[in-house]
Amino acid sequence: MSQIYKPTPANIKLAAELLQSGELIAFPTETVYGLGGDATNEVAVKRIFEAKGRPSYDPLIVHIAEPEMVQHFADLSNKEVKDRYNKIKDFWPGPISVVLPLRTEITDGIAPSVTANLQTVAFRIPSHPVALQLLKNLTIPIAAPSANQFSYVSPTTPEHVLDSLGDKVSFILDGGACSVGLESTVISLAAAIPTILRPGVVTKEELEAKLGEVLIGYNDRIPTRSNLNLNPLPSPGMLDKHYSPKTPMALIENFNSENIPPRTGMISFSTQKKFANFEFTEIQQIGYGDDLNKVATRLYQAIRQMDKLDLDLILIDSCQESGIGSAIMDRISRAASKGSQS
């Protein structure tokens, strides 16, 4: 049975001991809750994939408290990679993951399943105080995907973790509601030009201010699942249908007002009210377009709540795809995607 534990020093210590002995636990970060396991322990890492029902081609992010661990596990021998990495470090602790070349000659390295056998590895130092305390109690790095069933909406409260993985993880460390609410920005520094593999609240604009030219790599949609076995993806989080509720979801701007099904919910973050005469079964106002941070924080919570109401359809607003709006629209379009992945 799964239980939520208050983040007392004793419970954080217990969580650290469980991780250190190869067990899995769920813990808070400022982005979303993670399902953590020892990143150097292949057995523990395999259990993460199993618990989530996550395909083995989708690599995990490694969570650490101090940048020194990066130097041990990643290959920073290329001067350009190292220079860029040193600039990106300024965003840590914070919601950004950095993909670097893997150091292969060490024997106590990252377990092969973490990286899906790629020659690169993603690192992140989260800023949530509970996550930092937990990681500081450890001598090992922690592999942690979002603590949800594969392809469902990421959890932003401990209760979401209980809902999603209640029978799979016995220990959930409580850090309250996540302040960011969307998964970290993923940037690859292993590419010739730094490339954003997943947009997040650390924006392209902020990254360019540090690094110069930055490419976007997340719009290359992958058409079928069968391709994936042949070609490891640059970042499999780019799968079309991801972060999806069970209920069909659509952008209100694309929707035809004449055939809205009777049980429709509306997630709104615009001041414009569309379909004024239609009585939505549920309306959630998650902020306004001029405060996209708030929209990001509340988005997954709103989608999860709507998804419990047995609706025929969830409609949602949209915003401009710049700044944080890029990450918000990326997640919304994936949640609303009718991709073939189940």
Query: Which residues in this chain contact ligand TXA in the complex, by CB under 6 A?
Result: 29, 31-32, 34, 58-61, 97, 99, 115, 118, 120-122, 124, 126, 144-146, 183-184, 186, 197-198, 234-237
Report the candidate in 284, 291, 340 with the shortest Cα–Cα distance to residue 315: 284
10 Å Cβ neighbour count for 270?
17
Residue 29 CB, shortest distance to ligand TXA, in Å, is 5
What is the closest distance, in whole angstroms, from the C-beta atom of residue 31 to ligand TXA in the complex?
3
Contact track, Mg ion, 110-149, x by CB under 5 A: ------------------------------------x---
Q: Which does 60 bind (CB under 5 to 8 A by kind): Mg ion, ligand TXA, none?
A: ligand TXA
| Among ligand TXA, Mg ion, none, partner that 99 touches (CB below 5 to 8 angstroms by kind) | ligand TXA
Half-sphere exposure of 46 (CA within 13 A, CB side): 4
Q: Using the 8-state DSSP alphabet, how is residue 166 labeled?
A: T
Count of residues engaged in binding Mg ion, rule: CB under 5 A? 1
Q: How far is the CB of 144 from ligand TXA (least distance, A)?
A: 5
The residue type found at 138 is: L
Measured from the CB atom, the residue of 183 and 317 that comes closer to ligand TXA is: 183
135 binds, among Mg ion, ligand TXA, none (CB under 5 to 8 A by kind): none
Is 151 near Mg ion (CB under 5 A)?
no
Give me the least distance between CB of 235 and ligand TXA, in Å please: 4
CB 323 to ligand TXA: min, Å? 18
- The answer to whether the beta carbons of residues 234 and 219 sit under 8 Å apart is no
Q: What is the smallest separation between the CB atom of 217 and ligand TXA, expressed in angstroms?
A: 9
Nearest-approach distance from CB 324 to ligand TXA, in angstroms: 14
Which residue in the shown chain puts its C-beta closest to Mg ion? 146
Location of structure tokens 């609303």 = 336
Q: Where are the beta strands (DSSP E) in the chain?
A: 3-5, 25-27, 34-38, 61-63, 96-101, 120-124, 142-143, 171-173, 185-188, 195-198, 215-216, 249-251, 264-268, 282-285, 313-316
Helices (H), ranges, the chain: 9-20, 42-52, 68-73, 79-88, 129-136, 158-165, 204-211, 226-230, 292-307, 324-335
List, in sequence order, every residue forming a beta bridge with 25; answer none if it has no partner: 36
Picked from Mg ion, ligand TXA, none, the partner binding residue 58 (CB below 5 to 8 A depending on kind) is ligand TXA
d(CA 15, CA 186): 26
CA distances from 237 to 3, 16, 130, 197, 325 (A): 29, 28, 26, 8, 18
At position 2, the amino acid (one-letter code) is: S
Binding-site partner at residue 118 among ligand TXA, Mg ion, none, CB < 5 to 8 Å by type: ligand TXA
> Burial level of 341, CB count in 10 A (0-12/13-18/19+)?
middle
- Residue 29 binds which of ligand TXA, Mg ion, none (CB < 5-8 A, kind-dependent): ligand TXA
Give the nearest residue (CB) to ligand TXA.
Answer: 237
CB of 79 to Mg ion, least distance (A): 33
**Is 101 or 155 the residue whose CB approaches Mg ion more closely?**
155
- Residue 37's binding partner, choosing from ligand TXA, Mg ion, none, with beta-carbon cut-off 5 to 8 A by kind? none
**Site residues (CB under 5 A) for Mg ion?**
146
